[in-house]
Amino acid sequence: MLNETKPLRQLVILSGKGGTGKTSVAAGLMHLSALSTNPCVFADADVDAANLALVTEAVPLESHAYWGSQSAEINAKLCDRCDLCFQICRFNAIHKPENPQQDYSVIDLLCEGCAACAYICPQSAINMSKQQDGEWFHSRTPYGHLFHAELFPGAENTGKLVTTVKQFAKLYAEDHNLKLMIIDGPPGIGCPVISASGGADLALLVAEPGVSGLHDLERIIQTLDHFNVPRVVCINKADIYPTGTTDIEKMIESLGLTSVGMIPFDPAISESIIHGQPITKFSLQSPAALAIKDIWSKLEAILFTQDSK
């Protein structure tokens, strides 16, 4: 049940797997929300592969370094070669030189930042230094303000960066008295998805017909059930595999979930991506745009005028 007294609603868009068209749907909802009476702020929580800014004409206003992890550093002048750091490191991140004239050192790519070596060092020769793992951005779009981020290749702490993006989007919404935050979530069911879903009033699950689509939809539903996040489902490219679409409909019905619409396969979506615009703006009367418009109407009703299942 939605909290009727909560001033800011949060809608997170998830898919369970990549490639379902989740970001295209999110971009369409951004455009439609700008035409509605419920002004929104937007967050791209897919920080490993953030693409929402590319299809919403985003113009960066500010960027900030994201310091999410830490790495050990050995001060050779203080080190007495006691070897305790080498013995305790479970990640093999301490380089033990064979030549006694060489210094102990840290292999940055292997260091997990656990600080066990710093705690055990009797000479206090090891310090932990912060590492920049990415950047987060505040951008302006024709549809409202967008908060998004890019995690550096190989960097960790994806969930923490997702939380950072959401926190700043929420602060902006509260400062400007906005009613809704739309979050384009990451695929899968891991830590970033959990971070993106935290505090959500409703999750829109974008599914696609097929064996993997059905399997991964079931997994994301189970994940949201665990965290008690209300959810509804839409099926994208619903007409390309009718049997798979029927299977998804049967599962939705068996779980007592709500289907808010079906989006047909539409070549205009590819064209809209090439032009960097939401499908609902690029081709308002295209089949996919009309379907997304209907989905947005149903989502508004659920979020603002009635309870969700």
| Claim to verify: residue 222 and residue 125 sit in the same structural domain | no
pLDDT band of 308, cuts 50, 70, 90: very low
Long-range contacts at 62-65 (CB < 8 A, ≥ 24 apart): 62/137, 62/138, 63/135, 63/136, 63/137, 63/138, 64/135, 64/136, 64/137, 65/132, 65/135
CATH of the domain at 166: 3.40.50.300
pLDDT, tens digit (0-9, with 9 covering 90-100), for 29-41: 999 999 887 789 9
| Claim to verify: residue 209 and residue 270 sit in the same structural domain | yes
Name residue 131's beta-bridge partners: 69
pLDDT of residue 1: 44
pLDDT of residue 69: 85
Q: How far apart are CA 13 and CA 232, in angstroms?
A: 10
pLDDT of residue 48: 87
Q: Tell me if 275 is assigned to some domain.
A: yes
pLDDT of residue 307: 45
Q: Which of 132, 155, 171 is the last residue of a domain?
A: 132
Place of tokens 């310091």: 67
| Claim to verify: residue 158 and residue 191 sit in the same structural domain | yes
pLDDT band of 3, cuts 50, 70, 90: very low
| Claim to verify: residue 34 and residue 89 sit in the same structural domain | no
The mean pLDDT value for 101-110 works out to: 90
Q: Tell me if 64 is assigned to some domain.
A: no
| Claim to verify: residue 186 and residue 165 sit in the same structural domain | yes
- Pick the more confident residue, 100 or 54: 54
Angle CA(79)–CA(82)–CA(88) in degrees, nearest 5?
105
| Claim to verify: residue 200 and residue 160 sit in the same structural domain | yes
| Claim to verify: residue 114 and residue 147 sit in the same structural domain | no
| Claim to verify: residue 210 and residue 99 sit in the same structural domain | no
pLDDT of residue 6: 58
Q: Tell me if 2 is assigned to some domain.
A: no
The mean pLDDT value for 101-105 works out to: 91
Q: How far apart are CA 179 and CA 37, in angstroms?
A: 9
Give the DSSP letter string of 63-109.
EEEEEEEEEEEE-TTT-----HHHHH-TT--EE--SSTTSPPEE-TT
Judge whether 75 and 186 are in contact, CB under 8 Å. no
Place of tokens 């971009």: 27
Q: Tell me if 121 is assigned to some domain.
A: yes
| Claim to verify: residue 279 and residue 171 sit in the same structural domain | yes
pLDDT band of 299, cuts 50, 70, 90: very high
- CA nearest neighbour of 95 among 110, 80, 112: 110
Number of domains composing the chain: 2
The model carries a pTM of 0.86
Q: Tell me if 119 is assigned to some domain.
A: yes
Burial class (CB in 10 A: 0-12, 13-18, 19+), 122: exposed
| Claim to verify: residue 103 and residue 235 sit in the same structural domain | no
CATH of the domain at 95: 3.30.70.20
Q: Which strand ranges, in their side-by-side order, compose the sheet holding 258-263?
A: 59-74, 126-141, 144-151, 40-44, 180-184, 9-14, 202-207, 231-236, 258-263
Q: Tell me if 309 is assigned to some domain.
A: no
| Percent above pLDDT 70 for the chain | 96
| Claim to verify: residue 216 and residue 234 sit in the same structural domain | yes
pLDDT of residue 152: 87
For 227, which DSSP code? T
Enclosing H/E stretch for 11:
strand 9-14
Q: Tell me if 242 is assigned to some domain.
A: yes
Q: Tell me if 220 is assigned to some domain.
A: yes
| Claim to verify: residue 243 and residue 169 sit in the same structural domain | yes
What's the domain range around 35?
Answer: 9-57+142-304
On the question of pLDDT at 282 being above 90, the answer is yes
